[in-house]
Every structure is written in structure tokens, then in C-alpha cells.
Structure 1
């Protein structure tokens, strides 16, 4: 059973060169899962919010490739806000965490590396259902 404390910022190594910087992420090296899907959000209107769901199994690494935005993470008991604004920092989101995104800056690009291919059955899209799931899960432990 994961909590918001299990969601952490991961420093992605940076190689500095005269021609710019490069950061590399590799399955089972500095990502603790095999990436099965990559997607990105962009052109999100200022003032918009995204997310509003949790996953049963999916893990994610989220990177602000450009600009900035804030994640609000919720484990059913506690909430935690994480501001992302640098491409060499990845937010590792573990399963069973409700997430919302807000405060997108102009021109922001959010890159997401996911541990599973898209499956609607892995989503919890209703907050009351999420709380029920977390309560049932905590009784098992």
C-alpha cells in the first residue's frame, strides 16, 4: 500500500557539453520499471487542470520538459504538492495515488513515461471510488 511519501523527485543525471545538456533515462537503470508507453501534454491553456484520477497498477515518471506545472498527489489520507520545472527532475508516481495537475505555465510540456500500455480498466476516475478502494486496501494490510 503506497502513500504520497512514496512519490519522489528523482534527479536525472545531466551530461553538460558545449553543445548543450543531455539527460538519459533507461529501463531498470534509473527508472525502476520498464517503460511501455510515452505520452506528453502540451498547449494546456493557462488556468486548466488535468488528471483527476488514480491507477491500480500503473507507475509513472513525469518530467517538465519545458515550462512548469504542479502535481497534487493524494493517498486518501494526506495530500502533497510537487512543483516541476526542470527537465532533469522526474516525479515518480506509484500506483494507488490520486493525481491532479494545475498551474501550467505558458509553453509547458509534460512528458510521461508509463509502466503499462493504456488500459481503461486500470483507471479510478471517481474520487469516492478511490477512497473506497484505499479503505478496502488498507484493511487487507
Structure 2
């Protein structure tokens, strides 16, 4: 699979909107872990890795940020996330980093695996060798 935007249901109401997600309708995996990143200082970059097995969905709950996907051939695709009713699905073996955080950006990460340091690929050369 390739990275793709997933649209979540958006229930509009004059009192405020509601969005939800549930397995398996919107989430293509069983959720094992949820975490969020926030208070990212201006100009900082998060990520810079891939996972061997973990799948992930990133959602901009507040503010905005860009997710930069780098393929093994070094081609780049940018996804700008700025709405809380859609997220970016990242399959395993997807090299990514996150940049251009707006003030008060809140990024929600929904993962298919619990934290396991050995699942991280932190060296781009090692990442490229997975596809040979």
C-alpha cells in the first residue's frame, strides 16, 4: 500500500462538529497505541524514520503541519495536514518526517503496534536496502 489520505465522517451541527473513527470502517488496522506531539518549536522537524512493521495514521487535531514522504529512490511527496476530519495513512516501510508546524499544532498518531525500538529504521541507507 501507499500513503493516502483517509477522510473521516464529519457530522456538522450548529453546536459544533463531530468526527469519529472506528475499526475497521476508517482504520485499516487494530489500534495498539495512540500518542500525540505538540509544543513543537518553530523550525523543528519530527520523525526522520520508518517502521519495519508498524502502520500509522497522522491527524492534525489542531493547527497544521506537513508530512514529507521520501521513497527509496529519494523522490518526495508532501502531504499538508490541516483539518481534524482527515488523516494520513502511513503503511509500514514508509520513510517520513514532519515539518512546518503551525503555532499550537497538535498531531495525533494512531499506531498498529506498541512502542518497540527495534521496529524503527532510523538510517535512510538501511531503509533503501529493504527494497533491494
Q: Structure 1 length as normaliser, TM-score? A: 0.90
Stretches (4+) displaced over 6 A: none
Separation in structure 1 between the aligned mates of residue 62 and residue 37 of structure 2, nearest angstrom:
11
User: Alpha-carbon deviations, 1:81-139, whole Å to 9, x = none?
Assistant: 1100000011000011100110000000000100010011111011111111222xxxx
* Greater helix content: 1
Separation in structure 1 between the aligned mates of residue 29 and residue 104 of structure 2, nearest angstrom:
29
User: Alpha-carbon deviations, 1:53-72, whole Å to 9, x = none?
Assistant: 00111111110000000011
> Secondary structure of 2:130's partner?
helix
The unaligned stretches of length 5 or more in structure 1 are 136-141
Separation in structure 2 between the aligned mates of residue 101 and residue 60 of structure 1, nearest angstrom:
13
Q: Structure 2 length as normaliser, TM-score? A: 0.96
> Secondary structure of 1:121's partner?
helix
* Structure 2 residue 120 is matched with structure 1 residue 118: no
Contact 1:64 1:87 in 2 (8 A): yes
Separation in structure 2 between the aligned mates of residue 64 and residue 134 of structure 1, nearest angstrom:
30
Q: In the alignment, what sits opposite 1:13?
A: 9
Cα RMSD, aligned residues only? 0.9
Q: In the alignment, what sits opposite 2:41?
A: 45
> Secondary structure of 1:92's partner?
strand
